[in-house]
Every structure is written in structure tokens, then in C-alpha cells.
């Protein structure tokens, strides 16, 4: 890709994020404006929020033509990413969590792995050498056990951290892979990476600095159960 012609969409999936949304989008757009070398657009992908998130998101989009608000009428982070990525015409689609737990300094190298090649998928990793992570030991333990389980079920795995909410995908890979993903919730990330590897795409990893959001509303046990069901489904249903 030629750097001058590369366009990047940064998708922020949200659900009931009225408290954090405006501040996070402000920090993100300030970073992209001053530090990011490619033309960009921020897409707020709201999956069925019932608080003031729609009002705030629409207001942010009205105030800045580089910000778009997309309303998805059903819940599900994966569903929000699916809708935003497939509707996009950008050369690179990406996403990060609204809490900006991952230090934005890693975003430029993340995208550069795709722009410069030979990678079509690039992910942030909290488990690579050089990563700096601050989180409670319970979440650290669950994460490591889950990634070990992926390795056991898919021994050829070429990635270390399936769940970090900091990923970028080339246009061709997104168009190819997203329709293959059966999950519309939290397992979407893992299925994306497993299917990418099965399709022969190369996956780049970038060590990140990551600080846990203590206000996170993710139900760890429910998400873990969903992930295990998803792994078994994908294991029993390989691509033809």
C-alpha cells in the first residue's frame, strides 16, 4: 500500500458508555490528529445502548466530520464490529476499547504492520516480551489459562493474546474473514484470529502497555463460558 492513499477506520464499540465516551473520543482524535500519519475516521459503533450514549455519540459526530456514529439495534460487541467493518470502505479497519486501556503509542506500529506488509492482521499482545500490564491477578490468570486452551486446541496458533481489544485488519482480510465468523459477542476476536490463521493470513503482534479498567462491566465467568463454547464449535467445524 502507498502511505498517502491508505485510509484507516478506528472503530470504538460501545454499550451504555455515557460516562466515558466523550472524553475517550476526545483523547483518541487528539492522538490521531497529532501522531497518526494516515487519513483516518473514528466510528462509534453503538450496539443498542439504552442510556445517553446515542445522544452523546451523535453529538460527537455532528461536531467533527472525522467522527461517525453508527447505531446497531442489537447488543453484541462482535455484532458492532461486523457492522462497522463490513460497511467501511477504508483500506485498514481497526478497533480499540472505549476505555483506552491500551496505550495509544502502539497504534501506529500496529497499522504499519499491515501497510508495510506482509501482514493482513495485527494485534496488540499483553503476553509478549516487552508488554507492560497492570491488572488484577484473577483476570491475569483467566487470560493465561484461556490462551493456553487455544494453544491446546489449535496447536499451530501464531498469536499469543486473543482477547486484547486492540486489533487492525486489511480490507481484503476483513471482507474475507468477517462473514466466516459465527459469534457476535466477545468470542468474535478469538474466532477472527483462528479463522485468519486457517485461511493462511499472517498475524503480527505488537507488545502493548495495558492498564485494567476497574470499572469494566465484563462478566468474566459468563465470557469465559462463551469463549469455551466458541472454541469447541470452531474446533469441530473447520473451514473447508
The catalytic residue positions are: 189
Long-range pairs for 67-74 at CB < 8 Å and ≥24 separation? 67/25, 67/29, 67/41, 67/42, 67/43, 68/41, 68/42, 68/43, 68/44, 69/43, 69/44, 70/43, 70/44, 70/45, 70/46, 71/46, 72/45, 72/46, 72/47, 72/48, 73/48, 74/47, 74/48, 74/184
Per-residue pLDDT tens digits for 28-81:
999 999 999 999 999 999 999 999 999 999 999 999 999 999 999 999 999 999
Q: How confident is the model at residue 3 (pLDDT cuts 50, 70, 90)?
A: low
4-8, 154-158, 216-220: range with lowest mean pLDDT: 216-220
- 226 — pLDDT class (breaks 50, 70, 90): confident
Whether pLDDT at 218 is above 90: no
Q: What is the pLDDT of residue 18?
A: 97
Please report the pLDDT score of residue 139 as a whole number: 74
Banded pLDDT at 239 (limits 50, 70, 90): confident
- What integer is the mean pLDDT of 112-128? 95
Q: What is the pLDDT of residue 1?
A: 53
Number of domains in the chain: 1
Range of the domain at 37: 3-236
Find the CATH number of the domain harbouring 36.
Answer: 3.90.550.10
- Judged against a pLDDT cut of 80, whether residue 154 lies above it is answered with yes
**Taking 80 as the threshold, does the pLDDT of residue 2 lie above it?**
no
* 19-39 core/surface letters (b: 16 or more CB in 10 A; e: else): ebbeebbeebbebbeeebebe
Amino acid at each position: 500500500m502507498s502511505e498517502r492513499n491508505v485510509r484507516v477506520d478506528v472503530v470504538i464499540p460501545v454499550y451504555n458508555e455515557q460516562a466515558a465516551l466523550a472524553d475517550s473520543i476526545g483523547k483518541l482524535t487528539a492522538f490521531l490528529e497529532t501522531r497518526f500519519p494516515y487519513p483516518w475516521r473514528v466510528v462509534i459503533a453503538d450496539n443498542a445502548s439504552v442510556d445517553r450514549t446515542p445522544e452523546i455519540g451523535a453529538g460527537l459526530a455532528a461536531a467533527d466530520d472525522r467522527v461517525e456514529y453508527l447505531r446497531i439495534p442489537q447488543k453484541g460487541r462482535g455484532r458492532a464490529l461486523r457492522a462497522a467493518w463490513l460497511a467501511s470502505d477504508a483500506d485498514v479497519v481497526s478497533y480499540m476499547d472505549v476505555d483506552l486501556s491500551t496505550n495509544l503509542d502502539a497504534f501506529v506500529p500496529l497499522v504499519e504492520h499491515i501497510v508495510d506488509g506482509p501482514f493482513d492482521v495485527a494485534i496488540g499482545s499483553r503476553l509478549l516480551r516487552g508488554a507492560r500490564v497492570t491488572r488484577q491477578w484473577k483476570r491475569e490468570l483467566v487470560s493465561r489459562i484461556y490462551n493456553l486452551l487455544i494453544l491446546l486446541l489449535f496447536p499451530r496458533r501464531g498469536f499469543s493474546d486473543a482477547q486484547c481489544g486492540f486489533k487492525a485488519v486489511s480490507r481484503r482480510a476483513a471482507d474475507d474473514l468477517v462473514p466466516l465468523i459465527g459469534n457476535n459477542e466477545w468470542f468474535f476476536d478469538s474466532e477472527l484470529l483462528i479463522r485468519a490463521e486457517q485461511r493462511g493470513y499472517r498475524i503480527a503482534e505488537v507488545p502493548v502497555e495495558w492498564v485494567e479498567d476497574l470499572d469494566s462491566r465484563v462478566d468474566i465467568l459468563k465470557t469465559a463460558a462463551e469463549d469455551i463454547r466458541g472454541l469447541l464449535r470452531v474446533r469441530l467445524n473447520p473451514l473447508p
